[in-house]
Structure 1
């Protein structure tokens, strides 16, 4: 317990839209929130974030020492430490014992989490648990031996570079793959990326399972379709719609039970219509962008995580509305639609729904308007700043 408000608080380590949803959910219930993030994180503009500490993630020279020092200086002892990005997950998990002396930690150690977070190991774990994945090739495979199109992805996101910013590179032929393969090796090393066969299809085949697990047992879950992306092929999901997808739930449970999972989690699949099988794409063992949709569906993943880690129960989310079944970030949804038009493609029903259908706002909120007002300027600044 701390002296801040008589309640155990939360430190959000990195992240943007998911961290914003957590700050609002807990802040509305009187929980003090501190955000460690860069100055352009939209979450830092929320009225529910009491303190913003400048944090450069993987570029921090001594991140663990910084966290411990800030905790002591600001009296955060016993506060819940939640990762909002992939670097935060690995940092906390690899330094679990040391950080546990200062914070309440909801995540497993790195031995348990690494097979879920490292894409080079995820396919092996999936196979042992009985899940399908896209066909995987060795990173330095001979370009002539691949069945195109393929996708190059970073094994995990620990730093920022052209590949991690893009999330994935599509290669439709051996010539392009050879160029991108060499660039990926230069940026992240010969073993720092994975090569997968591309599964065709758009948002109607992009399934997600989201849940809170405790001691290897599911405590509540939801499933959804990630109907839009920006950029169109390998971007963020600005429009997500709740759907009952039993196959996705069953497959995700097999995977998470295999590691005795504990904490918040999103598992991403893609339905391969060529064989009508779900293929595991990714696992997010951190706060994900559209976690606020769970509150709207009557699920309190955030409150469950807080209560389990701190021992302090919370009342229900104040803004939960079960009649809302979609989540939207307006700016990237509009940009996604514009990208369709710019490529002379029809956006389809999902494209128009993404900007017109009733949905929970992923950024704007009537009781917390500043993040919504700042999102577009921040997006412009992010696009215009020099690449590294």
Structure 2
């Protein structure tokens, strides 16, 4: 539902636009649409890099202009930087960058000087000034695991095999099932070892899969946390230059697609002071600045929250979270980068977020599995849909038009991949 501007306790700088930055071919991205609506409803001019002119983001009435630019995410960084600067010159004024993937977040962090140059011809881009190498390390499964160990943050026990022989040794000693993931976030676009998080049931199943991973397998092998003994939590926040949270939200994930391993399909806002404190301490320790999207799994066997993923950028489901003062993480970033104060406010406990095109298959899969989420409210206090919005209908219909055939095929392929991984053969 759109916010009434006059009821909000803040006034954004409408002279500073926002630019959605995405690299790779994934046109059905509800997070980008959410960011366009979030700032666009406040009167902030919004621009977006899109695959073409017929994506849901390009169809939004809150978008000032789309810049069609088809990328893979594997291009030379200098080419991507040059392309961003060309877009900036076409916008013609300083603009807040809003990355929607790891490739974009890392590129911005590692090329801050060029992208933020005030002599660039349009005044330069605005973005949080983070330690340049930190986002890449956080997006890496191995880098994140090492940071967790260094700072005493719980994470599943993990191994990082360097050869097939290492995998054979692991298979002989590990307790199965185990989980395999691509070690580096960026290999998923180039040479992914697995198609997302893959559960492997047996040593034989692991060795069979590993034969296709090459001489230097780019995987992380983790302990599997039993579904019946775990609960998935998410944290979204925005931290200033001193690593102080200006907005921080906690919620519980009810369903994802593929089941238990993929994108959030259905989630609730749930107050969790312990998780908020853990996140705040960790971010302070590593000195991160900017938006974060964390996935954690609460392990009932030892009562600990185990950090699974750290996305150093806006999460696709960020619109789950908005404070009573109308602040979400994207609005917090735009306000802070343009010199505005970010008003405080409690999160809306009980609010629900649903991604329509993936929640239905997820619902059917979860019913079969019998999985439940004890901390989820019995009923939502309110609901926000990812695609359908009364003041911005075209993105929903554009999503349907692009989703029906390729989307259904993609969901089926993800489901098949998930089942093969679970079977371990």
1:207 aligns with one of 216, 227, 233: 233
Give deviations 1:181-239, integer Å, cap 9, x for gaps.
Answer: 343x34xx836321111111269710112211102111221110011011113111111
Q: Does residue 1:198 correspond to 2:224, yes or no?
A: yes
| Aligned-residue offset at 1:286 | 0.7
Q: Does residue 1:176 correspond to 2:211, yes or no?
A: no
The structure-2 alpha-carbon separation of the partners of 1:242 and 1:297, relative to structure 1 and needing over 3 Å to count, comes to farther
1:37 aligns with one of 50, 54, 57: 50
In structure 2, distance between residues paired with 1:284 and 1:354: 29
| Aligned-residue offset at 1:93 | 1.4
| Aligned-residue offset at 1:13 | 0.5
| Aligned-residue offset at 1:126 | 0.8
Q: Which residue of 1 aligns with 2:421?
A: none
1:283 aligns with one of 310, 320, 338: 310
Q: Which residue of 2 aligns with 1:9?
A: 17
1:89 aligns with one of 105, 120, 129: 105
Q: Which runs of 5+ in 1 are unaligned?
A: none
| Aligned-residue offset at 1:267 | 1.8
* SS of structure 2 residue aligned to 1:80: strand
The structure-2 alpha-carbon separation of the partners of 1:297 and 1:203, relative to structure 1 and needing over 3 Å to count, comes to farther
Q: Which residue of 2 aligns with 1:264?
A: 291
Q: Which residue of 2 aligns with 1:152?
A: 180
In structure 2, distance between residues paired with 1:36 and 1:80: 13
* SS of structure 1 residue aligned to 2:62: coil
| Aligned-residue offset at 1:88 | 0.7
* SS of structure 1 residue aligned to 2:37: helix
Whether the 8 Å CA contact 1:203–1:225 is kept in 2: the answer is no
In structure 2, distance between residues paired with 1:234 and 1:179: 21
TM-score by length of 1: 0.85
Q: Which residue of 2 aligns with 1:75?
A: 91
Whether the 8 Å CA contact 1:32–1:50 is kept in 2: the answer is yes
Whether the 8 Å CA contact 1:297–1:323 is kept in 2: the answer is no
Please provide the CA RMSD for this pair: 3.2
In structure 2, distance between residues paired with 1:181 and 1:165: 10
The structure-2 alpha-carbon separation of the partners of 1:202 and 1:8, relative to structure 1 and needing over 3 Å to count, comes to farther
In structure 2, distance between residues paired with 1:165 and 1:23: 32
The structure-2 alpha-carbon separation of the partners of 1:115 and 1:50, relative to structure 1 and needing over 3 Å to count, comes to same
- Matched positions, count: 374
| Aligned-residue offset at 1:322 | 4.1
Give deviations 1:112-153, integer Å, cap 9, x for gaps.
Answer: 223321111111111221111101012343222322111111
Q: Which residue of 1 aligns with 2:8?
A: none
Q: Does residue 1:132 correspond to 2:154, yes or no?
A: yes
* SS of structure 1 residue aligned to 2:321: helix
| Aligned-residue offset at 1:290 | 1.6
Whether the 8 Å CA contact 2:253–2:264 is kept in 1: the answer is yes
Q: Which residue of 2 aligns with 1:225?
A: 252
* SS of structure 2 residue aligned to 1:295: coil
1:114 aligns with one of 123, 136, 141: 136
| Aligned-residue offset at 1:368 | 0.6
1:325 aligns with one of 351, 356, 366: 351
TM-score by length of 2: 0.78
